[in-house]
Structure 1
Amino acid sequence: MEKALFLKWLSEGTVSIPHVLFKHYRAIGLQDEECMLLLHVHTFIESGNPFPTPEELSGRMSISSARCMGLLRGFIQQGLLEIDQYEDGEKGMYYEAYSLNPLWEKLLSLLSSHEARQDQQQKQKEEEDVYSIFEREFARPLSPMECETLKIWIDQDRHSPPLIISALKEAVISGKLNFRYIDRILFEWKKNNIQTPEQARSYGEKFRARQTRGPSRSAEQGESRNQFSVPVYNWLEQS
Structure 2
Amino acid sequence: MDNNLIKYLDYGSVNISGAILANINNLGLTATESVILIELSYLKTRGINFPEPQIIVDMTGFDTKLVFDTIHQLVKKRFVAITSGKENVDEYSFTPLNQKINQLLEQHPDSKIEVTDSIKDTEEESLSNRQELFNNFTQEFGRPLSPIELETINDWLTIDKYSTKIVKLALREAVLKQVYSLKYIDRILISWKKQNITTVAQVEEQRKNYEQQKNNSNNQSTDLPKIPIFKIKKE
TM-score by length of 1: 0.38
Which structure's relative contact order is higher, taking Cα pairs within 8 Å and 6+ residues apart?
Answer: 2
TM-score by length of 2: 0.39
Greater helix fraction, Structure 1 or Structure 2: 2
- When Rg is computed on C-alpha atoms for both structures, the one with the higher figure is 1
